[in-house]
Structure 1
Amino acid sequence: MAGDGREMKVIALDFETANEQRSSPCSIGLAWIEDGEVARVEHHYIRPPGNRFARFNIGFHGITPQHVEDAEEWPEVLDRLRPELEGALVLAHNASFDVSVIRRTCEHYGVAPPSFDYLCTVQVARGVWPDLPSHKLNVVCGHLSVDFKHHDAAGDAYACGRVALAATSLNSLSHVRDLAGSLGMTVGRLHPDGYTPPRGAVSARRPRVFG
């Protein structure tokens, strides 16, 4: 909860990367959750270092060097998004990937990452719908009848938010912030000095620091 009395923002996000390096984001989608719904969605192209793309990644998400040749690089994008992300609860489906993109890209450019709590909706889905054959985003959303464009950063962020909202409703909780405690999980934490991954109900991992 924000220390000045404001309600903590909840933002679902998703990255697409240009190549095998986590420090190569080429697209970010964000979905703000307000009053029990996905209130707005944003998408930003990002020019990765050297604008280097791998054929595999292009085939995965369809973004090419031409799409991002005039886009801002990560430090400029982060400057605009930092006020939104600071102090928020961030949701991501397979959060270890998306948070590592932030960490590694900030390390590459020598900028401090934002400070926020985060929760993995894969872990949430495993706790809420344990009998699904898979907890991939498209499978969970198929179960929930949520239509979205998969492997599109904005579409995936929207879908991630909808998964969290569905889990919140199914557990009769008043807010997405209550999910972790209800499921016996802990949220992760990213900050300039390091990070602590979220802990699921099944297993726990030790905190790690940069370096």
Structure 2
Amino acid sequence: MSGTWVAIDFETANAYRGSPCAVGLTAVEDGRITDRMYTLIRPPAAHRHFDPYNTLVHGIRAADVESAPGWAEVLQQIQEFTAGRTLVAHNAAFDVGVLRDACTAEGSPWPTLRYACSLVVARKTWRLISYTLPEVARHVDAPLNEHHQAGADADAAAHIMLAAMQRHEATTLDQLLEGLGIVHGTVAPNEWSGSHSKGKYTGKPSAPLPGANPDADPNGALYGKAVCITGTLSRIKRAEAQAALASVGGTPVPKVSGKTDILVVATPDPRRFAIGSDKSDKQKTAERLLEAGRDIEIIGEADFFERLNS
């Protein structure tokens, strides 16, 4: 194999993407890892607080970054390490978003770079139940002993891209992307574009979720609540349940986040679970939020319908 590129991974202090607290980089040349860089980061001043949930995920605390270099210094280190080479990240929209938002938070221009997403590549290379970094890494036998440690995650992204190159007999990253019909993402001082598949999307678009009825009874059990559903409801279809929720003043949401009030756990579909798991990603996220002290309820289908009708 020929060609050289750099895998990158960020961890953040809180929910704002422009709060990087660690970065890992893994350089690849001629099909093998040749160099690595890792550093903690003192996040931009306006976004320096550490959310307990983020610390629970990656283990980094505010005290750990007190003497770490700030974003301007780290960005310079990143640029020197990458030396204009293409960046690779798993779910690159997030990691490149961290870079852009951190620059914006510091009032500095975005750098000029080109990047590719190993998540997009994985979806066009293998048929898997889940395309999260740990699951794809496991599928290609890539080492990942400590997920959410930036250096380990960057290494895993590099191994995934190398495995895809081998699978498609591509000798360069550009050849791999061209063969799969994937375009590079780009960032410039005043604009950016994502790494994605060429051509028009032919799948059926998802219907927008209904908004909460502002005229609903404010004393209702679900009024003003952001509610997510996981699993298959036995009584009615999920879209019907979301419409009923909206009619009583609740807000249906598609995923669990720190702003979710209730997760409804219906009949699970193990085919959609990550390999080796007995819970959906939504339930696991809700449980992590609970452990971090967030005020979120996990309820069953019967409880949901009881509240819906109260």
1:17-166 correspondence to structure 2 within 5 Å: 17-50=12-45, 51-85=48-82, 87-129=84-126, 131-148=127-144, 149-166=146-163
Partner Cα distance (1:171, 1:197) in 2: 22
**What is the CA–CA distance in structure 2 between the aligned matches of 1:86 and 1:109, rounded to whole Å?**
22
Distance (Å, rounded) in 1 between the aligned partners of 2:151 and 2:82:
16
Q: Does 1:195 align with 2:192?
A: yes
State the shift of 1:172 in Å. 0.7
Where in structure 1 do 4 or more consecutive aligned residues deviate above 4 Å?
201-204
Query: In structure 2, do the counterparts of structure 1 residues 169 and 8 end up closer, same or farther at CA, with 3 Å as the change threshold?
Result: closer
Q: TM-score of the superposition, structure 1-length normalised?
A: 0.88
**Structure 1 residue 32, shift from structure 2 partner:** 0.2
User: Which of the pair has more CA radius of gyration?
Assistant: 2
Q: Partner of 1:207 in structure 2?
A: none
- Post-superposition shift, 1:40? 1.7
Counterparts of 1:160 and 1:19 in 2: how far apart (Å)? 22
Distance 1:199 1:80 in 2: 28
SS of 2:33 mapped into structure 1 = strand
What TM-score, normalized to structure 2? 0.61
Deviation at 1:9? 4.1
Q: In 1, are the aligned partners of 2:44 and 2:102 still within 8 Å (CA)?
A: no
The answer to whether residue 11 in structure 2 is matched with residue 16 in structure 1 is: yes
Aligned pairs, number: 197
Quote the Cα distance in structure 2 between the aligned partners of 1:48 and 1:20. 12
Change in CA separation of 1:40 and 1:196 when aligned onto 2, cut-off 3 Å: same
Match of 1:169 among 166, 171, 193: 166
Instruction: Name the Cα RMSD after superposition.
Output: 1.6
Higher-RCO chain (CA-CA 8 Å, sequence separation at least 6): 1
Deviates more, 1:144-153 or 1:195-204: 195-204
In structure 2, distance between residues paired with 1:202 and 1:163: 24
Partner SS state of residue 70, structure 1: coil
Structure 2: stretches of 5+ with no match in the other structure: 202-310
The question of whether the paired residues in 1 share the 8 Å contact of 2:3 and 2:173 is answered with: no
For 1:8 and 1:138, the matched residues in 2 are separated by 26
Conservation of the 8 A alpha-carbon contact between 1:8 and 1:87:
no
Measured after TM superposition, the shift of residue 84 of structure 1 is 3.3
Deviation at 1:83, TM superposition (A): 2.8
Note the C-alpha offset of 1:145.
Answer: 1.4
